[in-house]
Structures are given as structure tokens and as C-alpha cells.
Amino acid sequence: MTWSGSAARPKVGGMKRRILGGTGISVSEYAFGAMMLGKWGNPDHEDGVHMLHAAIDGGINFIDTADMYSDGENERIVGKALKGRRDDVVLATKGHFQMGPDANHGGNSRRWLTRALDDSLRRLDTDYVDLYQIHRPDATTDIEETLSVLTDFVRAGKVRAVGSSVFPAEQIVEAQWVSEKRGLVRFRTEQPPYSIFNRAIESAVLPTAQKYGMGVLTWSPLASGWLSGRYDKASDVDINEGRKALQQHKFDPSLPENAIKLEVVAELKKLASDLGRPLTHLALAFVRAHPGVTSAIIGPRTQEQLADLLEGADLELGGDVLDRIDEIVPPGTDLNRLDADYTPPALADKALRRR
């Protein structure tokens, strides 16, 4: 049986709502991704608090963060912003990445996730989160071990639902089977990257999530800023700026895979102009148009960026526009395969493919 993971609900506060997988939880089509609040982006805590309040006032009721964003500073800003407004939002966070020098200060083991969740709850100043997500797969931990501790979190009332992030389709299926076989909570959501530039998930991840009735929260709808409208020529791309220096492969315009991005941006800008909209509105509307997507995570760094994205929440693309986008970037493809944020160990570790 095929289930819908993003059933529609009416607008609330000017923002359309959808049901998050089979949880019955109503969430806005935009989720506020708080990653850029803190030292990674906007270090002004009060400005971050004001942005979150503006997002909530604009109809966004879904807030997504993670323990590793700005080394925990991000969760503290979110916790500060939600004082007195906790019941107004669906709050999601994530655990997995290394949060200390010891090898056991990260991963998907019971030992680490138990501590990671408690640390997140303390920083967020709340006694529960609505969605707790496993930030990346962990080849060293049996998925049953991970699902077992997540089940305990739900039974303890610390977590309402659980999800995965950047899991390949085959690992999503494995997790669903293990949950059914062992009577454990199952992943209700998946959080993959998705944009006009990064469409690989259309071939297997999105159909698999739809099959299992999972809600899908997509991140980086502006392709790490490429679809923000800031880049028209190679000299506009400063790879030494902030976090870009750590992800040079995504931005270096001397790489053919990135050079073509500038050509595609020019075509998409013309298409957006024909609609009388900025490129950001087109990019977000494209992501929201896929029937498997529940919420598109936006990650503004400034009030102006947030205002622009909120203004585009009403745009719905017709079939003719979506067909044109398909001609520019074919379905199921990534413009730059190096943009992928997860490489399976079988490819990353030479020892796993050599005798």
C-alpha cells in the first residue's frame, strides 16, 4: 500500500500546512532551519531571537536545529526564542555528529544518543522535542540498536516522533523493516538535501519515503546560496567567505561542475523574471511542488532574507514552468555530484573495496 507523507491542511497565519507523515502533527510548508544562528552565520543572539519570532508570526510553526550547529550555541538561541512560545511550535533537533574529543562523543549508539538528547533538551530549555532525527547514518552501529534507544526516548516522553537525515533509500527501507520486525518506533521523517541543482533524491529517496508514509523535510533549497540570486559570474563567488572555505568543492568556479551552475542560474533567473518573481521564490516553489515534500527548510541569516522567503510562500508553479525546469536540470540529477553531503563507507573507505 502506498501512503501519502504530506497530506494537506488549510493555511494558518498565512502559511499553508501539511501533515507530517502519519504523525497527525500539522506543520507549515516552510520550516525555519536555525543553522545560521550563532557563530556559523549570525552571531547576534537577540537578532536571532527576533528572526525566530518573525518566522512564527509569519505562519511558520516548524523549527529545525541540531546539537552540532555552532557547537550547541544554536540550540541555546532557539531555546531562548521559544520561552513562552514553546506550545506554538513543532520543535525538531538532531544528534549524531562528534561533539567532543573522544570517539564515543558522537555516532548513533545508545551510549551517545542518550547523552546527546539530554544535552539538547538542556540547551533548548525544554523537556521534550516533537521530532528527534538521526543526523547521518552510522556504519558502526546496528540500526536496531539506534531504533531501540529512540523507542525508549518516545516511551519516556522526551520525544514525540523520530526521523532520519540523509539516509540512502536502501537504509530507509532497512530501518522500516527492522522497526516492524522488532516492534520498535519507526522513522516518521527523512531530511534530505533538495533543490533545482540537487535532484538526485527524486529517483529513490522521495519515492521510498512516500511508500512508507514518511514526512520529508528538505534542506538547502537554495543550493547553498547558488539560487539566492547573488551569483551572476565567477567573480561573485568568494570561496574564502565563511563556511564556503570548508566546502570549496561546492563553490570553486574553476571546476566545470560549478561553472555550469552559473549558466543554469542565468536561465532560471530569466524564468523567474517571466513570472515576475525573484529567483529565491522560484527555487522554494519548485521544492514545495513535489508531492513527497512536507516542508522546505529555509535557513535565513538576516531579517531581510527571511522577509524575502516569506513573501514567496504563495507562489505555486504550473506544469509548464516545472517542465521548463526539467529541461534545464533533468529530474533525478545533481549538477555537481561532489555536492553530496554523505558518501557511503563502501566508497569512502578504500579498505572496503580492495583485497
69 counts as catalytic: yes
Which long-range contacts link 230-239 to residues 24+ away (Cβ below 8 Å)?
A: 231/261, 231/262, 231/265, 232/262, 232/265, 232/266, 233/262, 234/259, 234/262
Q: Cα torsion at 161, 162, 166, 169 (round to 10°)? A: -100
- Residue 139: exposed, middle, or buried by beta-carbon count in 10 A (0-12, 13-18, 19+)? middle
- Cell numbers of 19, please? 501533515
Q: How far apart are CA 220 and CA 194, in angstroms?
A: 6
Given the residues 69, 194, 212, 231, the one annotated as active site: 69
In 3D space, the residue among 87, 88, 84 whose CA is nearest the CA of residue 58 turns out to be: 88
- Residue 35 CA, chain-centre distance (Å), reads 10
Residue identified by cell 536561465 is 267
In 3D space, the residue among 288, 286, 284 whose CA is nearest the CA of residue 323 turns out to be: 286
Residues with a known catalytic role = 69
